[in-house]
Amino acid sequence: MNAERPIEDRIKELIVRVLEIKVDPAEILDDEKLFHGGLGLNSIATLELVAAIEETFGIRVEDEELTVALFESVASLSNFVKAKLDIRDGAVQRKCVEGPAQEKAGSAPHGPQLGVEERTHWPGVAEALETISPGHRRALNFLVIHTPVKDLRDIKADLIVEHVEYSYLARETLRWGSQINDQFFFRYVLPYRIWAEPIERWRKSLYDELYPLVRRINTPIEAAMEINRWAASKAHFEDIPVTYKGPLHTMADGYGDCIDLSVFFVAACRSVGIPARGVFSPWMPLGHDGTHMWTEVWDKGWHYLGSCEPEKQPDRAWFSMHIKKAAKVYALSFRKTKVRLGLRYCPDIWVEDVTGRYTTVGTLKVSVSEGLRPFPGFRLYFFVPNSKTRFVPVASAETNAEGFVKVKLGAEVEVYFVCPGDPLEKWGQFVHIDPHRTKEIHLRR
């Protein structure tokens, strides 16, 4: 690493690159505001900036370190990086070399995969198993087996037990509880986390507040729409740094970005036994970088709602027309699925690909060879070009043993770019996807 150039200068260069602003980095002041009235950093750009900082300085930025204060100015970011690098008297010493990396298909995004028996050794889990109601132990086992190992080390028994017990309380006391089978209850009511937010004790608090509001309602979708009106009175959208706030934090602040609002609304629905999940699109034609997140609730099928954005009926929102031209749509999953989000600026979480529910799709088959031989285990990235110098990542996949991969993509997008890494530095190919058809291309390494 080149330690001669000041950290501040390198941070300024990254800001200019991420924001695509025509400003000489040297003209940016150390105390210049990055958000309101400043350089125009927005919530999604913060994710790209964090990814760029991790890659440039070889550090890892943890979720809990993403605070509003961190993105206050160039100085605040620079001080954070210096602390991470442990700079003393101009000497750079790396403390962490783990940068953003793509894992092989099927590998665990949160460390080693352990069975229930191996996971019960953590103090919080062992205590929870001793105190949980016998009839609820199966639900606790579900949470334990799907909780990342790094969270099991610190999880508190009373917190996880409260989530289990109040999930069953909601199922037993609300009119639609008997309509929800175990599969949907376990996957979309019981989980305590929606995205990558901190583990919080939110379920009892939200149940106590929302039960009187919905106790006489008969169906989950009617209740969800009523909760959405309530949620809109508690928090509104504001373009802020992505900080992965918990639902109670968002409610206390009274605002959040689209991710925060979805986490808040999903938690509110789950607290009263409504199956709900966050849904995320890395790109659709919104006029900026195209990323958006909203909420789906289950009532004889999935229905989408704008989070804290009530409408008179489900499956209608301000983005309804835009989503028909989405590149990809992912539903977030607490349990392991066949797909990981795996995008450079997003948390590495399990998802279900639901693109086909929102737009017409086509299939792209990409073969990769080295010389005359197929190249297995080769990771490809799929981008939507927003401009000549800006490419938005929407999917990634690894070639199989035969050296090819098939990916379903939204067919209403004008063009995609496929390459093995940074689209501005790596070779690749532009391609158009046809609806309901398979397009084949061949890349040579």
Give residue 146's identity as a one-letter amino acid code.
H
Task: Phi first, then psi: give them for residue 376, nearest 5 degrees.
Answer: -80, 160
pLDDT tens digits along 288-309: 667 899 999 999 999 999 999 9
> What is the CATH classification number for the domain harbouring 261?
3.10.620.30
pLDDT tens digits along 165-201: 999 999 999 999 999 999 999 999 999 999 989 899 9
Comparing CA positions, the residue from 149, 136, 188, 202 lying closest to residue 334 is 188
Q: What gap in Å lies between CA 9 and CA 5, rounded to an integer?
A: 7
pLDDT at 64: 61
Same domain, 151 and 237: yes
Same domain, 274 and 331: yes
pLDDT classification of 344: cutoffs 50, 70, 90? low
Q: 346-350, 354-358, 386-390: lowest mean pLDDT where?
A: 386-390
Which of 309, 340, 358 is the endpoint of a domain? 358
Which of 64, 85, 106 is the endpoint of a domain? 85
Domains identified in the chain, total number = 3
In a domain, 102, yes or no: no
Which of 63, 85, 107 is the endpoint of a domain? 85
In a domain, 390, yes or no: yes
Same domain, 345 and 426: no
8 Å CB contact between 329 and 342: no
pLDDT at 289: 64
Residue that the structure tokens 């100085």 belong to:
75
95, pLDDT greater than 50: no
Same domain, 46 and 139: no
Residues 6+ positions from 146 with CB-CB distance below 8 Å: 191, 334, 335, 336
Same domain, 163 and 216: yes
Same domain, 354 and 365: no
pTM > 0.75: yes or no? yes
In a domain, 104, yes or no: no
Same domain, 250 and 386: no
In a domain, 274, yes or no: yes
> What is the CATH classification number for the domain harbouring 40?
1.10.1200.10
Q: Which domain covers residue 416, as residue numbers?
A: 361-444
Same domain, 60 and 175: no
Comparing CA positions, the residue from 239, 242, 260 lying closest to residue 250 is 260
Same domain, 151 and 243: yes
